[in-house]
Amino acid sequence: MSTVIEDLVARKVLNSRGEETIEVDVVTTSSFGRASAPSGASRGKAEVVPFPQGGVDQAVRKVDEVIAPEIVGLNADFQEEIDRTLHELDGSKNFRIIGGNTAFAISLANAEAAANSYGLLLFQYLGGYVTHELPYPLGNVISGGRHTSGKTPDIQEFLVIPYGAESVLDAVIANAKVHKRIGEILRKKDKLFGGGRSDEGAWIANIGNIEALDVLAEACEEVGNEVGFECGLGLDLAASTFWNAKQKMYVYSREEKKRDKGEQLDYVLQLIKNYHLVYVEDPFHEEDFKGFAEITRKVKNCLICGDDLFVTNVERLNRGIKIHAANSLIIKVNQIGTLTDAWETVETAKRAGYIPVMSHRSGDTCDWHIAHLAVAFGCPIIKTGVVEGARIAKLNELIRIEEFLGERAKMASLPIS
């Protein structure tokens, strides 16, 4: 089967926020692959540059005029060669010339084209025939921080993970039930609650951090009793977004409180203890490796996850591994640019005992590929929302993968309880 690339086609499309982004088709002699790039609201400073100067229009021109002439004629089977070529064409360390989103869309579309040429699903092609473990869905059900505006919690995301579920389908349904139950609770608590939702489909409400946690805990307990398995609580503090470097304080606007590093540590530890949190993402700002290491030492049965801290970058991850900063990390392929780069980071994480969490971005598309990447890369968790079209696309694809695997399908193991 010939998988020589015959054409690269780039176009401008919209993401779930109505923002412009890039989509790429990779056409081979026997197949076709397509991928579009998402966008985050709160980006880590060490992420690759999403688009070149000139934005999406310039990215599309780069594909047509610079990238396509070099990629056409290569073999889609050789993913590392494709990704290396993208790095060479860019020439910078952070994809500022062609754009990280451009590299991401080409890299992913290429992998799909190669998979299609062999009649394989993407997760099979990338992970092999023996791949059969499925991730638990981690989803945002109450939004705050930069995902909202107005009077909302300072903490960016209040999350649910049904880690007791025995199937993806059961887990996805449980998360949806928690989301629905939270909406019902909020309506009872606040007669003015309008049912607003964030980009990711999570509820937006005029409540504080502790109120939001109380609502989440109530909903998780009720749904857990209904479905017969544990629905765990999690947080994404996105602490870089309220870190004031000049004051060296975490500024909680709604609470009207400022916390130094020690107070921030005590605050998060207390939340973990009081609410039996099983997942905490970015509890400190993106350069505080020592803070991540300290909190990791002091908790058990809770994943301390680095997103802005690591930005899917193997060099930053190795820096964290040396001092045991965090025990988990977010994997967003477009933070680093290519599948090969992300794969290297995942494998490095696994060797060090870190849990990789495949993740969407807040401004996403209905592209479903990360469902396959989570399975292929062996990520025990996929962070991809609960409701909203771009999130449902990925969750439904996980359900299809589970159905395809049949009796071989098995939920991944997690070090939380």
The residues that are catalytic are: 200, 332
Residues forming a β-bridge with 27: 7, 32
Q: Which residues contact 358 (CB under 8 A, 6 or more apart)?
A: 135, 331, 370, 373, 374, 377, 379, 381, 382, 383, 384
- Rounded CA separation 41/52 (Å): 18
Amino acid at 183: G
Calculate the CA dihedral of residues 367, 240, 90, 39 and round it to 10 degrees: 20
The Cβ of residue 53 has, within 10 Å, a number of other Cβ atoms equal to 9
The Cβ of residue 373 has, within 10 Å, a number of other Cβ atoms equal to 24
Provide φ and ψ at 182, rounded to 5°.
-60, -40
Do residues 8 and 69 lie in contact, with contact meaning Cβ atoms separated by under 8 Å? Answer: no
Structure tokens at 131: 């791949």
Question: Please, where are the H alpha helices in 352-386?
Answer: 369-376
Instruction: Write out the E strands in 181-285.
Output: 232-236, 243-244, 249-252, 257-259, 279-281
- Rounded CA separation 141/159 (Å): 6
Do residues 302 and 278 lie in contact, with contact meaning Cβ atoms separated by under 8 Å? Answer: yes
Q: Which residues contact 78 (CB under 8 A, 6 or more apart)?
A: none
Burial 200-219 (b: 16+ CB within 10 A, else e): bbbbbbbbbbebbbbbbbeb
